[in-house]
Amino acid sequence: MPGTVTVKAESYRLRVDARLTEEPGGCLVLEQSRYRLRLSGLEAGRRAVLLRMVENWLSDLQIAQLVTGLEGDSRLLPAQLLVRRLLLHSWLERRVSIGGRAVLDVVPRRIGAQSVPPQRRHSPGAVYRLSRFAALRAEQGRMVAYSPLSTVGISCPQFRLTTVLARACAEDIGLGEVAEELGSDGSAAGLLLDELLSARLLLTSEEAEAETRAAPMALWSAEELWLHDRSRPERHAAPIGATDRFRGLLETDLVRRTAVDGRPSVALPTPPCVAQASGSLSSVMSRRRSVRRHDDSRPVTVGQLGEFLHRVQRLELRDCEGRLTDVRPYPGAGGLGELEIYPLVSRCAGLPGGLYHYDSVHHRLATVAAPGPETERMLSFARATATMPGPPQVLFVITARVEPLMRKYEGIPYALALKDAGILTAWMYLVATDMGLAPCALGAGDAASFSALAGLDTLAEPAIAEFALGSCPPDAQEPT
């Protein structure tokens, strides 16, 4: 193992997702997503440092040379204080070099006070493991390792760092293993370990055990924790909300106005006025149940199916400042009406079995697929998921046309689709209860069979929820 003396150096640059602009009058402004910092009254040295760090890494020595060359030694301290202030508020990335070689970059995720994580130190003789929540992503031409539990990530300018992470995934590692992978001494390995521990990419044996065997950490899957992290601005400063980042670049129809692909359709009966017959909201809510048995001796009728779909999913198009806006019976993100319903009919008086799409503008069903092996698999999956004694009379597959959401919103579009599906499901329960039908929401569905039948691009219109409906047996009193 090399026995050279470790020489550690740090350099800095503006984080890649921020920009520096100049206002009239000379004030410099740092901007990143929803954050903005005005820096006024800067002399030539500090201005030069900021402008140089937009595209270049500057070490402490280079900062000192730049400032003293422009203003002399007396203005070095204010420049150093500015750099430290920007570091503490996560406006800068930090590069760690050992022996003149860049080993890692600390990439901030958050911005503001207390956005820098506490510094963690390795212990001699201790071993560490890679967190099961760690993710390695390609980002603007570099590899960055992140944990959703940290406010910083670690970029890997040298491929040897990725081998350290890979080895930590397979086995316990300590100073010796890190030094071996880096080709450096124990002191350099210790510096690297400290940074990986601070970013929560490496964990102690006790912490790794808690991630898999102790609540609350063991209860979270990596996918669910990452979805939560991205949709809640707690540990990151990534853009979130209605940013309209694709405005003028991607145009998408906001509504589906006709039956799918012009396929044959079935007109549904015009539903009667139900306002007088409906029960009070409190009465309907108190009677709401998940009913997992259907009365196949008198299955749901096409009239009931039509009334139910009209009450839960009808679509009105209204002009809003020159743009057509979807109006559903339930609220939805941005008024985009992205949810679609595909009824899979097993038993329905007056309607042949098969998979349909509900045309919510013209109140009709477009034929998608006739009964077959895929529909049987979908019904069997639904029966098992809901622990029903038999297949549901009607299985609703709820999809989301995610492009309108993803065009308008950033960081939260899929989470919004799931929330809208939850609202629709609750609305389905109330309407079904009011109509005396048997409703039951499902926790999962056979998305593969559905996609094969519907021929949908699952990245453009994924299935995100399922709901079973049928006629209610007279003695059905199942709790939720």
Domain holding 95, by residue range, is 8-231
The predicted model gives 427-447 an average pLDDT of 96
pLDDT of 6 higher than 50: yes
pLDDT of 13 higher than 60: yes
- Residues 128, 235: Cα–Cα separation, whole Å: 23
The predicted model gives 273-279 an average pLDDT of 63
Q: Within a domain: residue 377?
A: yes
The string of pLDDT tens digits covering residues 344-379 is 999 999 999 999 999 998 999 999 999 999 999 999
The predicted model gives 130-141 an average pLDDT of 94
Please tell me the total count of domains within the chain: 2
Residues 16 and 159 in one domain: yes
Calculate helix-pair angle for 159-170, 175-182, nearest 10 degrees: 150
> Would you state the pLDDT for residue 264?
86
Q: Within a domain: residue 241?
A: no
Residues 191 and 319 in one domain: no
SS3 content of the chain, % helix, strand, coil (to 5): 35, 25, 40
- Cβ proximity of 254 and 336 under 8 Å: yes
Q: pLDDT grade, residue 134 (50/70/90)?
A: very high
What CATH number should be reported for the domain holding residue 386? 3.40.109.10
pLDDT of 317 higher than 80: no
Residues 213 and 309 in one domain: no
pLDDT of 263 higher than 80: no
Of 181, 212, 231, which residue is a domain's last? Answer: 231
Which 8-state DSSP code applies to residue 1? -
**For the residues of 257-296, what is the DSSP string, one character each?**
-SSGGG--EEEPPPPPP-TTTPPPHHHHHHH--------T
Higher per-residue confidence, 158 vs 382: 382
Which token pair is 1? 């193992």
pLDDT of 251 higher than 90: no
Share of residues in the chain with pLDDT > 70 (%):
92
Residues 82 and 189 in one domain: yes
Residue 352, preceding peptide bond in cis (omega within 30° of 0):
no
Q: What is the pTM of this model?
A: 0.89
Q: Within a domain: residue 327?
A: yes
Instruction: Quickly tell me which residue has 């150093």 as its tokens.
Output: 80
Residues 339 and 411 in one domain: yes
- Residues 474, 433: Cα–Cα separation, whole Å: 13
> Would you state the pLDDT for residue 250?
57
Q: pLDDT grade, residue 255 (50/70/90)?
A: very low
The string of pLDDT tens digits covering residues 17-66 is 999 999 998 899 999 999 999 999 999 999 999 999 999 999 999 999 99
Q: pLDDT grade, residue 477 (50/70/90)?
A: low
Cβ-in-10-Å burial (0-12, 13-18, 19+) of 480 comes to exposed
- Residues 53, 434: Cα–Cα separation, whole Å: 64
